Amino acid sequence: MKRTSFFYFASFVTSLLGNSVTAIALPLLVLFTTGSPLDAGIVAIAAALPAAIAGLLMGSLIDRINRRTASILSDAISAVALVILPIVELTAGLNLGWFIAVAILGSFGDVPGMTAREAMLPAIAKAVGSEPARLIGLREAMTGVTMLIGPAVAGVLVAALEPVTVLWITSGMAALAVLLTLGIPSGATAHQRHRDAAPTTQGVRGLLHGLTLLLRSPLLRMMLLLAVTLGVVLAAMQGMVIPVHFAFQDEPQFVGFVLSSLAAGLLVGGGLFAGLASRIPRRVWFISGIATLAVGLGGLAFLGPVWSIFASAAVAGLGGGAMNAVVGLTFVENVAENQRGRVLGAQNAILTLTPALGIGGGAILIEGGSLHLATTVFVSLWVIVALASLLSPRVRRLREPARELVDA
């Protein structure tokens, strides 16, 4: 059974690392090819919007077929999409149209693949005889590791190779993720179906069924609001505030170290949850994570000495690792097995749009005001949403299943 968990986490890390490297190499390739930052933004939007739609559409499919199969198909789509650009570069030559087309194709691999791996985790935990909380904590820790080394790997590859050549490597990583997923026994990810289960909703209503279920549950709505708010705030900090701050200070080399500090915090937070989740009440993890995040984000907002920014990023990551693990486990415990793909697909579809909101909002606040105005607004946003969630009576019942979802 250790083999099952090994292949699950190996495929997860390989796919995530490939996406991390691609996220750096692809915009650079667009810039080198077209010479326009606006074109890079257009390609990013072209990837984000279809990815959100794909999350909604493919969630229903993930609930119909073996999630191992869904994960394999998603990584295969990503591998094919990424290899198209190097081939076109060698033949017809690249232009903006090719970048947009590949971004749209690739979007049907990234979010559905993420959803399939999240949806299969409870079945993996059952197959290996482990608690879902432990595996979710390990997954958050590995996410932190990948975020820690991803930018460094991308930097080395882009420095040594042309960005278009790097895409051969990331396409190979997606293909390797397919092979690793094949190592997971098919029976370990099979649906736990019931003969008397209600028939699956069809048509357009069926495609939006996951979104309906997600928004119907007060507990999951609260968790989604927290995840979206954190996504917006972190995107603004990582993608706009911190880079602009260090650019103004003529110290752009520190941007990557801030991201690494954040990732290190995520690694520690997820690791602590994996090891101690059964000993400490869920509510304590949740409240501690939210409070620690507020402290870390507050420290970042001051934009003080370099060491204080590094330390604040690490503290924010520590809180985020713990809170994200609780959010992930809440979805596992409060969504019925035969609905999990659709609900997680809807969640991931919404979260796919948060970076654009954070970076766009940050740009507007900085352009119209100042860096400190932007940090004040985003930290205040997190504090308001965090306090609202802590005051909610739902926090006291994190372990209780949401009956409206379980019985849907």
Q: What is the pLDDT of residue 60?
A: 65
| pLDDT score at 315 | 94
Q: How far is CA 59 from CA 53, 75, 122, 317, 393, in A?
A: 10, 15, 17, 29, 30
Quote the pLDDT of residue 251. 76
Burial of 31 (0-12, 13-18, 19+ CB in 10 A): middle
User: What count of residues does the chain have?
Assistant: 408
- Give the Cα-Cα-Cα angle 352, 354, 359 (nearest 5 degrees): 125
- Domain spans of the chain? 1-135+143-182, 206-408
Residues 6+ apart with CB under 8 A from 347: 55, 214, 224, 227, 331
Average pLDDT, the chain: 79
| CATH value of 1-135+143-182 in 1.10.3720.10, 1.20.1730.10, 1.20.1250.20, 3.40.50.300 | 1.20.1250.20
Structure confidence by residue, pLDDT tens digits, 215-247: 777 888 888 888 889 888 988 887 678 877 887
Q: What is the mean pLDDT of residues 112-129?
A: 80
Residue 193: φ, ψ to 5°: -90, 155
Q: Using 50, 70 and 90 to split pLDDT, how confident is the model at 316?
A: very high
- Whether the per-residue pLDDT at 200 is higher than 50: the answer is no
Looking at per-residue pLDDT, the higher value among 171 and 405 belongs to: 171
1-135+143-182 and 206-408 share one CATH topology? yes
Structure tokens belonging to residue 249: 């200070």
Query: Does position 283 have pLDDT exceeding 50, yes or no?
Result: yes
pLDDT attached to residue 91: 85
Helix or strand (DSSP H, E) at 19: helix 2-34
Question: Does the pLDDT of residue 202 top 60, yes or no?
Answer: no
Confidence of residue 257 (pLDDT cuts 50, 70, 90): confident
- Please, what is the angle between helix 209-216 and helix 37-62, to 10°? 90
- What does pTM read for this prediction? 0.69
Q: Which residue has the higher pLDDT, 55 or 160?
A: 160
Q: What is the predicted pLDDT for the residue at 405?
A: 44
Instruction: Spell out the CATH class of 206-408.
Output: mainly alpha
- Mean pLDDT score, 188-197: 52
**Comparison of pLDDT for 214 and 381, the residue scoring more:** 381
Least confidently predicted of 110-114, 135-139, 155-159, 354-358: 155-159
> For residue 196, what pLDDT is reported?
38
Which pLDDT belongs to residue 208?
A: 64
Average pLDDT rounded to a whole number, residues 397-401: 54
Q: Is residue 407's pLDDT more than 70? A: no
**Secondary structure (3-state) at 41:** helix
Per-residue DSSP letters for 249-308? TT-GGGHHHHHHHHHHHHHHHHHHHHHHTTTS-HHHHHHHHHHHHHHHHHHHHH---HHH
Query: Closest by alpha carbon to 243, among 261, 259, 255, 232?
Result: 255
**Is the confidence at residue 355, as pLDDT, over 90?**
no
